[in-house]
């Protein structure tokens, strides 16, 4: 009996190992999918020298553990690294004594992982621009597009520091001889919201894609629901839906919506859980007055 029990135990172990091997062969990606990623890079100055002791803060913006952060310091070689990080979108903030802070946003996956390089500009160097002044130093080219439609925006005024230019029909522009360092970039175009952002102009030409938003105009909609052959002060509560908002008529059938975006919107009336009216109305800037006549409820 003892010999038989031992053989059964050995058989059970062999069967378990055989099943584990089959699972590993059938799902080879299961273990790999859980493998973490390293995120690493270098911090240097414009002469190429490594910056030691720079503080690097990594913030998870859109993957697993979104909102979590990690912190490290660069080594004497300017190297920094984070280990065991999941795939996702990250913001990286780099600060160092005597240098302007810099930040970047990256999407890190196994297919797109790369070494991240930061080049910091000195913030206390006497006359730092004199080091880089020269022909075509500090050039910026770019394209301005509408964020809503992805179409290029022509005749937009681009200002970087004291230099300015307008975009061509393709939404493109180029400014040169800007010097090196932080500059205020502004974009002004009729019908669009004003865009402002601080950028770091580098010795080598850089390319920017600037997305601007159309100006949003809002309106107030005053409306009234009238029921044929019924007293004008005897209207039951009717729900009115417009542009994602809801209102309820008073006893006179009146209703009001504020801060409705200019444009065409469906207007729907619901009474006693039934739809009694459905139409597209045109909302114009200012106050739009709309009257609805229904035959019966």
Q: Which of 7-11, 80-84, 188-192 has the lowest mean pLDDT?
A: 7-11
**Within 13 Å and on the Cβ side, how many CA atoms surround 269?**
23
Q: Residue 279: its pLDDT value, please?
A: 92
Fold equal for 36-120 and 128-212: yes
Closest CA to 99 of 200, 196, 207: 200
Q: Range with the lowest mean pLDDT among 37-41, 230-234, 257-261?
A: 230-234
Q: What H or E segment, with its residue span, contains residue 10? A: helix 2-26
pLDDT of 51 strictly over 90: yes
Tokens of 15: 């069967």
pLDDT at 26: 47
Structure tokens at 138: 């500090």
pLDDT in tens, 222-237: 999 998 877 767 889 9
For the record, the structure tokens of 266 come out as 């469906």
The H-or-E segment that residue 16 falls in is helix 2-26
Top-tier CATH class for 36-120: mainly beta
Is the pTM higher than 0.75? The answer reads no
Give 89's contacts (C-beta < 8 A, 6+ positions apart): 60, 61, 62, 63, 105, 106, 107, 108
pLDDT at 131: 47
Does domain 128-212 bear CATH number 2.60.40.10? yes
Alpha carbon distance 87, 61 (integer Å): 11
CATH topology (fold) of 218-294: Immunoglobulin-like (2.60.40)
Query: Strand 195-201 vs strand 181-188: parallel, antiparallel, or unpaired?
Result: antiparallel
Beta-bridged to residue 255, according to DSSP, are 223
pLDDT band (50, 70, 90) for residue 23: very low
Closest CA to 53 of 79, 70, 71, 75: 75
Mean pLDDT along residues 181-207: 89
Distance CA 272, CA 266 (A): 20
In whole angstroms, what separates CA 227 from the centre of its chain?
Answer: 48
Domain ranges of the chain: 2-31, 36-120, 128-212, 218-294
Q: What's residue 35's pLDDT?
A: 64
Confidence at residue 122, expressed as pLDDT on a 0 to 100 scale: 79
* Whole-number Cα distances in Å, 196 to 157, 233, 242: 12, 52, 33
């Amino acid at each position: 009996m003892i010999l038989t029990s031992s053989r059964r135990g050995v058989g059970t172990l062999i069967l378990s190992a055989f099943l584990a091997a089959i699972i590993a062969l059938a799902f080879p990606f299961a273990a790999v999918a859980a493998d973490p990623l390293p995120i690493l890079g270098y911090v240097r100055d414009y002469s190429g020298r490594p910056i030691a002791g720079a503080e690097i803060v990594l913030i998870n913006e859109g993957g697993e553990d979104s909102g979590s952060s990690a912190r490290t310091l660069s080594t004497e070689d300017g190297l920094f690294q984070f280990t065991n990080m999941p795939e996702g979108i990250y913001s990286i903030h780099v600060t160092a004594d005597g240098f302007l802070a810099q930040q970047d946003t990256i999407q890190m996956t196994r297919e797109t992982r790369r070494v991240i390089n930061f080049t910091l500009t000195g913030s206390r160097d006497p006359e730092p621009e004199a080091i880089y002044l020269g022909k075509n130093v500090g050039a910026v080219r770019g394209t301005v597009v509408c964020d809503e439609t992805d179409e290029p925006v022509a005749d937009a005024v681009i200002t970087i520091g004291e230099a300015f230019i307008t975009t061509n029909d393709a939404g493109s522009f180029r400014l040169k001889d800007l010097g090196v360092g932080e500059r205020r970039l502004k974009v002004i175009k009729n019908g669009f919201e004003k865009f402002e952002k601080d950028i770091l102009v580098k010795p080598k030409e850089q390319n920017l894609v600037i997305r601007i938003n159309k100006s949003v105009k809002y309106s107030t909609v005053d409306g009234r629901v009238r029921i044929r052959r019924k007293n004008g002060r005897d209207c039951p509560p009717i729900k009115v839906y417009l542009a994602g908002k809801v209102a309820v008529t008073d006893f006179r059938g009146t209703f009001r919506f504020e801060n409705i975006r200019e444009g065409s919107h469906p207007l729907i009336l619901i009474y006693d859980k039934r739809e009694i009216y459905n139409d597209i109305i045109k909302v114009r800037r200012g106050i739009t007055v709309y009257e609805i006549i229904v035959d019966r409820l």
